[in-house]
Copies of this chain bind each other. A is one copy, B any other.
Amino acid sequence: MLSRIFRAAAAQMGPTQLTDSRAHTLGRMIGLLEAAAARGASLVVFPELAFTTFFPRWLLEGEALDHFYERAMPNAEVQPLFDRARTLGIGFYAGYAEMTAEGKRFNCSILVDTKGEIIGRYRKVHLPGSVEPRAGARYQQLEKRYFDYGDLGFPTFRASSQWRDAVVGMMICNDRRWPESWRVLGMQGVELVCVGYNSAAYDPNGGSTEDASLRTFHSRLVAQANAYMNATWAIAVAKAGDEDGSGLIGGSCIIDPNGVIVAEATTLADEVIVADIDLDLCRQGKDKMFNFAAHRRPEHYAVITERAGAIEPPLIDAATP
């Protein structure tokens, strides 16, 4: 039986400032792609909104906002990345802001095969933040204002003869904190989950909440546990460091189906990590402990799909006074 091993990379990106030119950022991505290919990877995962800064932190309108969106993918500006990838025979995942012909806006990611063809698309389902800006705050989180909710669900993609026929799924940033995202992919037999993120390292407006260490712990914890519970590999990739005074965690990592981190970034800068993805390591979990057909009991899960919000139970009056 053929082994099902291929090498994959995470291309963590350091910060991208508002004033950075698109050409400069794309040049960094091509450099990371070349580094991944030089290390033998046939797939490299870039972060969420990889071509630009994390612009939902700013209250913007008109062209100041619109220029962050891609009207087509690929397009003339990003074509050099596609060309270099095809030449090197390396596929990639990358996140970007999408504007459709109908004017819909999505926080989107694509899966590009080793021939430079887009074989999968995902639109972020779990948008964090708010529609209305926080009055008086220097930094915002306006994803709910700038994007429509993803309308593609959580599809999986299995590219014939590439990546050893791996079943690949995508999510974006906040999606990874929601076990439903992983489970919907798991229900399709996912073997590799790609997820790019931009996650705050602290409250940039100066509030006292979780510190960078706890937030990095959370980021890894959810990816590790959900990888294990769905018996899948996962590649989680940050845009990291200080973007115009707002800090982002790093912690990019490659996780095996046991939930064990097998490669991890050590900086908050551009950095490539690689690992050999042995898809057969998914079988132990999928066939035994997490044999869904044998062990899941969906008749008891109804509330998960019946409503969005939580409803608390009533108080029980003590049986004895």
Contacts and interface: CB of A to CB of B under 8 A. Distances in A.
A226 B179 contact: yes
A155 interface: yes
A298 B150 CA distance: 12
A311 interface: yes
Interface stretch (A59-67, A76-84, A214-222): A214-222
B209 A318 contact: no
Nearest to A191: B312
Contacts of A292: 308-310
A125 B296 CA distance: 9
Closest 8 CB pairs of A and B: A293-B309, A225-B225, A179-B179, A189-B312, A296-B308, A160-B315, A189-B310, A117-B319
A309 B284 contact: no
Nearest to A160: B315
A14 to B, nearest CB: 25
Interface of A: 113, 115, 117, 119, 125-128, 149-150, 153-162, 165, 167, 174, 177-180, 182-184, 186-189, 209-210, 214, 217-218, 221-222, 224-226, 228-229, 258-260, 284, 286, 289-290, 292-293, 295-298, 300-320
Nearest to A186: B310
Given A119-B319, A179-B179, A184 B304 contact: yes
Contact of A286 (B184, B221, B310, B317): B310
Given A127-B295, A183-B301, 11 more contacts: A113-B318, A125-B300, A126-B297, A128-B289, A150-B300, A179-B229, A180-B296, A189-B310, A217-B260, A218-B228, A221-B259
A300 B259 contact: no
B128 A312 contact: no
A316 B160 contact: yes
Contact of A184 (B117, B127, B300, B312): B300
Given A258-B210, A289-B177, A304-B187, A297 B125 contact: yes
A161 B317 CA distance: 9
Given A128-B295, A210-B258, A160 B317 contact: yes
A259 B320 CA distance: 35
